[in-house]
Amino acid sequence: MGLFMTIFGFNNRKVKIIILGLVVMISILMGEVAAKQLNSGKGVVATHHHNLLEAEIFSPNIQNKSVDKTNENFKTGESLYLQSCGSCHIAIPPAVLPTETWKTILENPNNHYGTKVVGLNRLTQLLMWQYLQNYSRGLLKDEPQPKFIAQSRYFFALHPQVEFTKPITHHSCVDCHPRAREYYFRVED
């Protein structure tokens, strides 16, 4: 490298300035691409990472974390979630489990509560992750990560003053939510 620099007359300062200039130009170009995608309504820009769920997601104006209203940016992820998960069991609302549990579930499709989930590819996982991440909440510091619904404080926060007479599972949702299979969890009086 030193010989190359000597032959072409580069010194360390010049190389650093050139590299810095290249980094700035690449950053500007990447920012323009991201802006074009956001302005076109796609709303999602993902970068390749070794860990799928560390991808950067750009999602403007997400304020409502309700299962009833999904922002347009996350409709595809929601649809894939309902199709992938709802084909075997009731697809539970993302708010029932913490974000960290969803991440664990999506990162381990070969061990989904003792079964292997087939048909998931990295794109499907990423789109589902975007939806689940944006409509769930994280754990508190040092809070243990629940594996099951019955261990999730979010489940109980969503069900105040409810007396459960049977064990809580994703199958028991229909006891109180007759339209749970349709992904409709409102309790009608």
Q: Model confidence over 61-76: pLDDT tens digits?
A: 333 334 557 888 899 9
Is pLDDT above 50 for 85?
A: yes
Is residue 87 domain-shared with residue 171, that is, in the same domain?
A: yes
Q: Give the DSSP H/E element, type plus range, for residue 22.
A: helix 12-39
Instruction: Note whether 98 and 156 are same-domain residues.
Output: yes
Q: Which two tokens stand for residue 91?
A: 């697809």
Question: Which has more pLDDT, 19 or 2?
Answer: 19
Alpha helix ranges (H) inside 40-142: 75-86, 99-107, 122-134
Q: Are residues 77 and 170 in the same domain?
A: yes
Q: CA-CA distance, 79 to 130, in Å (whole number)? A: 12
pLDDT for 187 equals 77
Q: Whole-angstrom Cα distance, residue 171 to residue 159?
A: 16
Tens digits of per-residue pLDDT, 13-53? 776 666 655 655 665 555 554 444 434 444 333 333 334 44
Regarding whether 13 and 79 lie in a shared domain, the answer is no
Higher pLDDT, 169 or 50: 169
Q: Which domain holds residue 105?
A: 70-182
